[in-house]
A and B are shown apart, each in its own frame.
Chain A
Amino acid sequence: MDLGKYGQVVLWSYVAAIGLIAVLIAFSLWQAAKTRRALREVEARQEQING
Chain B
Amino acid sequence: MSIWDYANPKKFMDASGAVLPWVAALAGLCLIAGIGWGFFFTPDAVNFGATVKIIYLHVPSAMMAINAWVMMLVASLIWLIRRHHVSALAAKAAAPVGLTMTLIALLTGAIWGQPMWGTWWAWDPRLTSFLILTLFYLGYLALWQAVENPDTAADLTSVLCIVGSVFALLSRYAVNFWNQGLHQGASLSLDKKENVSDVYYLPLLICIAGFVLLFVALVLLRTRTEIRARRLAALLLRERMA
Chain A positions within 8 Å of B, measured between CB atoms, are 1, 3-7, 9-10, 12-14, 16-17, 20-21, 23-25, 27-29, 31-32, 35-36, 38-39, 42-43, 45-46, 49
Contact = CB atoms under 8 A, between A and B. Distances in A.
B221 interface: yes
Interface of B: 35, 39-40, 44, 49-51, 53-54, 57-58, 61, 96-97, 100, 103-104, 107-108, 111-112, 114-115, 214, 218, 221-222, 224-225, 228-229, 231-232, 235-236, 238-239, 242
Contact of A42 (B57, B224, B239): B239
A12 B110 CA distance: 11
A12 B111 contact: yes
A13 B224 contact: no
B228 A36 contact: yes
Contact of B236 (A10, A13, A28, A42): A42
Contact of A28 (B53, B112, B222, B238): B222
A4 B100 contact: no
Contacts of A5: 49
A43 to B, nearest CB: 7
A3 B236 CA distance: 56
A1 B224 CA distance: 42
B44 A17 contact: no
B230 to A, nearest CB: 10
Contacts of A28: 96, 218, 221-222, 225
Contact of A39 (B97, B104, B232): B232
A7 B108 contact: no
A20 B104 contact: yes
B221 A32 contact: yes
A32 B35 CA distance: 27
A13 B221 contact: no
Rank and list the top 4 A-B pairs by shortest CB-CB distance, nearest first. A3-B50, A17-B57, A32-B225, A13-B108
B58 to A, nearest CB: 8
17 contacts: A4-B50, A6-B49, A6-B51, A9-B51, A14-B35, A21-B104, A24-B100, A28-B218, A29-B221, A32-B221, A32-B222, A32-B228, A35-B225, A38-B232, A39-B235, A42-B239, A49-B242
B231 A39 contact: yes
Contacts of B228: 32, 35-36, 39
B51 A17 contact: no
A3 B50 CA distance: 6
A7 B111 CA distance: 12
B112 A9 contact: yes
A29 to B, nearest CB: 7
Contacts of B96: 24, 27-28
Contacts of B221: 28-29, 32
